[in-house]
Amino acid sequence: MAEYKSSAIEEFSNIWVFCEQRDGKLMNTDFELISEARKLADQRGSKLVALLLGGEGIGDLAKELGGYGADQVIVCEDPALAVYTNEAYSKVVCDMVMKYKPEVLLIGASNIGRDLGPRCAARLHTGLTADCTHLDIDMNTYVDFLDKNSNVDVKNTEFKMEDVNMKMTRPAFGGHLMATIICPRFRPCMATVRPGVLKKEEYDQTKAEACEITIVKPNIDTAALHEKVLEIVKEAKEVVDLIGADVVVSIGNGAAKDIETAKKLALELADALGGGVVGSSRALVDAGLMDADRQVGQTGKTVHPKVYVALGISGAIQHQAGMQNSELIIAVNKNENEPIFEIADYGLVGDLFKVVPEMINAINSMK
Amino acid sequence: MKIYVCVKQVPDTSGVVAVNPDGTMNRAKMPAIINPDDLNAMEAALQLKEKECATVVAVSMGPPQAGEMMRELLAMGADEAVLISGREFGGSDTFATSQIIAGAIHHLGIKEEDLILCGRQAIDGDTAQVGPQIAEKLHLPQVTYATEIIKEGNTYTVKRALEDGYMSIQVKSPCLITCIKELNEPRYMTVEGVFSADEKPLTVLDYEALKDEPLIETETIGLNGSPTNIFKSFNPPVKGKGEMFVGSDKEMAMQLAEKLAEKHVI
Amino acid sequence: MILDQKHLRFQKLCRQFAETEFTKDLLDKLEETGDFDWDIFRKMSKYGFCGVKIPKEYGGAGGDYLSYAILVEEFARVSPVLSIYANTSNSLGGGPLMLAGSEEQKQKYLPPVARGDKIMVFALTEPGAGSDAGGTTTRAEEQADGSFILNGRKTFISGAPVADYCIVFAKTDPKQKGSRGISMFVLDMKLPGVSLGKPEHKMGIIGYPTCDVIMEDVHVPADALVGKKDKGFGYAMQTLDGGRLGMAAQGVGIAQGCLEEAVKYSKERKQFGRPIANFQAISFMLADMATETEAARQLVYHAAELKDAGKDAAMACSIAKYFAAEAANHVAYKAVQIHGGYGYINEYKVERFYRDARIVPIYEGTSQVQQMVISGMLLK
């Protein structure tokens, strides 16, 4: 086999996904990545390989990766890999890449993936694009993506349709801009991918059975390792602060007639949306119905969650000041003329006590 | 003991973001700030310095205007500042940047008891890559996402944040640690520091000074040399007034749920 | 004037500190209790704000008048009352010693004041001697051993309830008329015979307590006399000169704070289907506010520059104080007006700014005293 040289791009082939496990359990991101990489492999007409590192017995998990679309799983088992350490993992990942020369290497952008990815890219002498939210290889699918998700006038833009570099799209500047990055001169083309963005496909037992498992004994000199893991502590999620929450469901005057039910509904809705915190408008705080630390707005807290739901809130400027930068705003109010609907992405006109239970049902039915 | 703190000047993306007609960021129109995580690294360095004798050296790569940021770091308490600045370095991606910074640190010298601290990531790129890549280039162990750093002799015990808890890792110096905001509360400049910052040493390292550094591969730096290139940058579609659903409560709820599923919110 | 890098850096520090540390909770607490907040004072001290203008050899940062003005302006922009916390040591508290103290006195008093370990305040006003400081009746009788016995009452003394030392003016030679025959003393507040009146309930600047200082047969040693005997009034006037600059800067800060609140609110608040900023009645008010604020700022910076250059700045300081104090009130008035009913309730910052602004044309020389000073120099 030729010596590893990242610029000899013609020597590289196949799509690889580094699959992260913690405590001997695969992560949801692994399935998301495999599902997406399956499409890339099909676009490229190449093989999809999952790379799985772990302690003794980790190979037992390999088949499951096949069920989401991996053609082959390379399993590196060693006691030194049971728990993630940057040193041992980067050594084994780089050894494998140098040996098999994949064209693409995807890694989940978890705290571990973002520790491992850059280290490997630097050693492998190639580029790495962080925290991608969308990937394409085939130019047609990329142009189609741009057409749907950007302000680019694709009809009047020239594209080199034969380009086979992986096109890695990611938000830049806190989401104010999107950028598509390529790595044309070096291989593998590496990306870390944001968890929870790509869609996991259906598990397919037949594919799982068909998946090829390759066990590789990694070459780790434990005596030469510098990094020592003293302990790993799992912490129960703390009570989420309003400001840090991904989902905030706030209630306003419309909830005053039955505050306890409204609070319960708001929390249930937050749970359905992935878990979050219940906020409040100033009116309910002033009325003594909600605690002041839950108040969103000018004189309360400023929040910017991924999803903000305003239930029975008119959306006065004082309230808007505290929530208008939320990524997605959903409003429920009896009065369709309330200002909250001017800034909401989705509006539902109705009585929150009737609409919210329907929302919870509908959302849960979609999962 | 020397503590290198790697710092980046970034446009403040928390406020209004100015965009050029071509879709790139108009940095000139946005206030430049010290990258927030880097301030946590600086604070960690200053706290270590308070416990034992250490020289804190702030290192940054950026345009000459970043000089004032270096003065601010000196006003916080850094002893020296080094600004890596040159046209040849402009437009570098993380791979290129980390080579240059690693080269500069190598040039300045790193000894057994020394430490490199970085912020986890910069708010303009959010990559979190430069820290680990500097460590790789210098062949040093790395610990990222530090929420606690305890030093005993040349041994560092670092709490490294995970999504569902933390792991406690022990490494020996020299090593590189990237810091997150949970680590500490960065101090301000001090009044005395503000007035004496101009008297502290600020060194500028340009291309000439670094081009012979063995860690720097001159053909993979700068805009053209960087392994990754911007293929296209664009704005997400403009958000108009939202969509009002119509129908019964149940119908509206279903329409909403479908939209949320489409957007992968659920 | 254009600030240089060093002053810009200092401005940034002051702004960052004020915006981060002067939280709504803290400001509300000051307002509710009226008490001095030791935590924020200690934090200011830790960063060196109490010693901005005190020379390095006496434990300060050795900053200039321009830095001092920037400090007060930036703090007042967020909290007028907290700007006083950092002001006193650099102005009326530490000022008299820097001006006339002996080397021994400076070494003894200034370093702890610069560090914020001790608080030193200034007591000139008496129940019967306000703008007419020459009417001082507090008496200091010299004893055979050179020590003094003080008797009298000083009124409206800002910071007195928390002070360790107080600069006191007292008549040492009753035979001399008016402002002559007055001497300046540094009074240890723990001495027997020193007592405090009850704290005043003020319209604004709540959270920096003010009360009377009463002296009954207080025996102070000879070295409590600062500067030359019988020359105290001149020192007071010179100190107030610098103090005026600080209070002018406070006016600028209040005006700036009001302007920013008004701009923000007028863009958010919608009436008749559009933001009220789109109405000329509002936008022209904003233009007037910005103009007065900037004019006041330039007068203050110019006066500071003159003082730093060692030039005669008495007139410039009076002009700056007069203009900035009035500007702060005009701007605060308009800011409340723009806020409408919301400006009249304490949820909104302008309500407090409005009350705080009202003292600026009163203390450290009323606007009318400034007019006297200015016209006096014109007609000399």
A247-304 residue pLDDT tens = 999 999 999 989 999 999 999 999 999 888 999 998 898 788 888 778 887 666 777 7
In chain A, what is the straight-line distance between the N-terminal and C-terminal CA atoms, in Å? 48
Cβ distance of B195 and C5 shorter than 8 Å: no
From C16, C20, C48, residue closest to B191, measured CB to CB: C48
- Give the per-residue pLDDT at A291: 81
Average pLDDT over residues A96-113: 96
- Give the per-residue pLDDT at B47: 97
- Give the per-residue pLDDT at A312: 95
Does B14 touch chain C if contact means CB atoms closer than 8 Å? no
At C52-66, the pLDDT tens digits run 999 999 999 999 999
Cβ distance of A321 and C347 shorter than 8 Å: no
* Secondary structure, 3-state, A168-212: EEEEEHHHCEEEEEECCCCCCEEEEECCCCCCCCCCCHHHHHHCE
Give contacts of C 193-232 with A, CB under 8 A. Answer: none
C68 and C175 share a domain? no
Q: CA separation (Å) from B202 to B43, B44, B68, B194? A: 19, 21, 10, 14
Q: Is residue A45 over pLDDT 50?
A: yes
Does B21 touch chain A if contact means CB atoms closer than 8 Å? no
C129 and C224 share a domain? yes
- Give the per-residue pLDDT at B238: 54
Does A320 touch chain C if contact means CB atoms closer than 8 Å? yes
Does A317 touch chain C if contact means CB atoms closer than 8 Å? yes
Cβ distance of B133 and A349 shorter than 8 Å: no
- Give the per-residue pLDDT at B23: 57
Give contacts of A 24-63 with C, CB under 8 A. Answer: none
At C94-117, the pLDDT tens digits run 899 999 999 999 999 999 999 999
From A85, A183, A345, residue closest to B242, measured CB to CB: A345
Question: CA neighbours within 13 Å on the CB side: how many for C244?
Answer: 27
From B71, B188, B192, residue closest to C61, measured CB to CB: B192
Average pLDDT over residues B142-164: 94
Question: CA neighbours within 13 Å on the CB side: how many for C296?
Answer: 32
CA C332 to chain centre: 19
Chain A interface, best mutation among C267, C268, C351, by max A CB count within 10 A: C268
C245 and C347 share a domain? yes
Question: Across B8-68, where does the E strand assignment appear?
Answer: 9-11, 32-34, 55-61
Give the span between the Cα atoms of C370 and B20, in whole angstroms.
51
For residue B11, being part of any structural domain is answered with yes
The domain that contains B12 carries what CATH number? 3.40.50.620
C221 and C242 share a domain? no
Q: Is residue A174 over pLDDT 70?
A: no
3-class SS of residue C105: helix
Nearest to C232 by CA among C277, C297, C167: C167
Q: Which residue bears the tokens 């040996």?
A: A99
CB atoms within 10 A of CB B124: 19
Q: What is the percentage of chain B residues whose pLDDT exceeds 70?
A: 93
At A68-99, the pLDDT tens digits run 999 999 999 999 999 999 999 999 999 999 99
- Give the per-residue pLDDT at B236: 67
Q: How many domains does chain C have?
A: 3
Quick check: pTM over 0.90? no
Does C104 touch chain A if contact means CB atoms closer than 8 Å? no
At B79-130, the pLDDT tens digits run 999 999 999 999 999 999 999 999 999 999 999 999 999 999 998 888 999 9
Give the span between the Cα atoms of A276 and A241, in whole angstroms.
9
Q: Where a domain ends, among C215, C230, C245?
A: C230
Cβ distance of A128 and B238 shorter than 8 Å: no
3-class SS of residue C93: coil
Q: Is C364 a catalytic residue?
A: yes
Beta bridge partners of B35: none
Q: Which domain holds residue C62?
A: 5-115
Name the token pair of B52: 């034992």
- Give the per-residue pLDDT at A178: 83
The domain that contains C329 carries what CATH number? 1.20.140.10
Does B68 touch chain C if contact means CB atoms closer than 8 Å? yes
- Give the per-residue pLDDT at B262: 87
Cβ distance of A317 and C347 shorter than 8 Å: no
pLDDT band at B17 (very low <50, low <70, confident <90, very high): low
Contacts of A333 (CB under 8 A, 6+ apart): A254, A310, A312, A313, A314, A315, A340, A341, A347, A349, A352
Q: Which residue bears the tokens 């598990």?
A: A203
**What is the gyration radius of the CA atoms in chain B, in angstroms?**
21
Neighboring chains of A (3 or more beta-carbon pairs < 8 A): B, C
Nearest-by-CA chain C residue for B191 = C48
- Give the per-residue pLDDT at A239: 46
For residue B239, being part of any structural domain is answered with no
C238 and C224 share a domain? no
Cβ distance of A321 and C268 shorter than 8 Å: yes
Does B189 touch chain C if contact means CB atoms closer than 8 Å? yes
Tell me, what amino acid is at A89? Y
Domains, chain A, ordered by start: 9-224 (3.40.50.620), 247-366 (3.40.50.1220)
Question: Which chain A residues contact residue B13 at CB under 8 A?
Answer: 173-174, 176
C89 and C217 share a domain? no
Nearest-by-CA chain A residue for C342 = A318
For residue B151, being part of any structural domain is answered with yes
Shortest distance, CA C193 to any CA of chain B (angstroms): 38
Nearest to C290 by CA among C312, C258, C321: C258
Q: Which residue bears the tokens 């196949």?
A: A14
For residue B20, being part of any structural domain is answered with yes
Cβ distance of A119 and B142 shorter than 8 Å: yes
Question: Which chain B residues contact residue A274 at CB under 8 A?
Answer: 265-266
Does A200 touch chain B if contact means CB atoms closer than 8 Å? no
Backbone angles phi, psi at B131, to 5 degrees: -55, -60
Name the token pair of A324: 């208008």
Chain B interface, best mutation among C8, C9, C16, by max B CB count within 10 A: C9
Neighboring chains of C (3 or more beta-carbon pairs < 8 A): A, B
Backbone angles phi, psi at B6, to 5 degrees: -90, 130
pLDDT band at A236 (very low <50, low <70, confident <90, very high): low
Q: How many domains does chain B have?
A: 1
Q: CA separation (Å) from A194 to A85, A197, B95? A: 21, 6, 20
C249 and C201 share a domain? no
Question: CA neighbours within 13 Å on the CB side: how many for A143?
Answer: 14
Give the span between the Cα atoms of C58 and C101, in whole angstroms.
12
Q: Which domain holds residue B192?
A: 2-225
Q: Is the ipTM of this complex over 0.90?
A: no
At C132-187, the pLDDT tens digits run 877 899 999 999 999 999 999 999 999 999 999 999 999 999 999 888 999 999 99
Sign of CA dihedral C93, C97, C103, C104: negative
The domain that contains C197 carries what CATH number? 2.40.110.10
At C69-78, the pLDDT tens digits run 999 999 999 9
